[in-house]
Structure 1
């Protein structure tokens, strides 16, 4: 019995020491933000908003352009997000599969790997618990369904999209991803003018709804108006695109990101190359360069 008691107190002392060590590991965060025992947990202190998270946490969705076209594709992308206090690099993938004569399509995409190194100022502003601001993360996974509503009629081409964001991303403590779901839906419109062989313009617009879960017990989700406007210039196998896109949340906590998008693509028979530049204007303060290699897969159905 005595031996059992000694073993119990020995194990209790180890567990207590480990708990104290873990607590002391975040004593800097407790002192910095005035956290005391009995206060809400650290997650409640963070702001689940694009202006207080990394570049891939709640990004403005890719602009859709009113129509489904082309074969199934797999796209591999490397990105460099330039930011004085939060330079970030990532590798991402995107799968697009149309079927039913390009009337319906599904997409699956996400960030497979992210590397970050943010400053002390950014760390404190975002209430992050990563002391040195350096690390790696795995991103969220998205999947979406696209339905061609109108095509090749007098009315502009019209496309409906419904997309869901999972909570697969990690590193919430470093303010990289939200650890919560989101979804968005939108209608996009476009009209072609001219001939592709001599030069074709395709103005387009998008309007929709974006909502994501927050940690605010009084407002468990933030709802936003999703929008975009832009134009393509297409000639033979070349595409040049420019657009303005963003969404506008109602909480007014840096939740109204807006950005300019520039997209250059060259198609080959079975492959394509794509170069993108994204310039943050508001509440998403990154300057992003993306390079993609695209494999054209056999169309499904």
Structure 2
């Protein structure tokens, strides 16, 4: 609201772009909350694996909203202001709101960094954003970064417009905000689209699952395995495992049960597990040879 008030008194397109940016960000947080709530619904006959991936869908919608509302409007307003520049009036409104907003946004960004560090581990920030299976933290992290940089761009545009007396600088600052939002929206769209289409477990998690399977006495080896994230905290594991040809059905069933327990012990999010036993043909062939 403060940004819109400042935009009204100053006539600054940068301030107006920042106001629209804040509206888009606030709406995006609501979308993420809605996605989290809908994803928690119990599974049904129509959706036997539950609704966990709705979190990915709403994160993708966030990217679309950020691009269409935030970036598109800012780019339009920036071009309009450059083609028809106006002097920034009563700049003290803009400076006061922008400086306060930068301080507030810095605290928000700091919180996002602290929360991300708790789950990021040793990954770089780029790797964390690209590989995270939980969409909320990367989305909020990039949104906060974009908000902070956007405020700095707006402050730059307004300051230059006041110092030079040329309103074109205000339009340039608005264009910078639009380009920034467009880049962030595209990055978010690419990453959330990958999650929405379906991503498997990370290589280290798959190695843990394979080791747990092959550690079961009745399992000779893993013939092949597929994993799929049904949601950030729910993983589907499907594998064909080799068993000895002389094992009884009871021994195979017992081995499968133990293998499932071993998987869940090392990867608790592996909640849906399907194991298909098959004869260890490689060992049988080498033995007969």
**What's the TM-score, normalizing by structure 1?**
0.23
Larger proportion of helix: 2
TM-score in terms of structure 2 length = 0.24
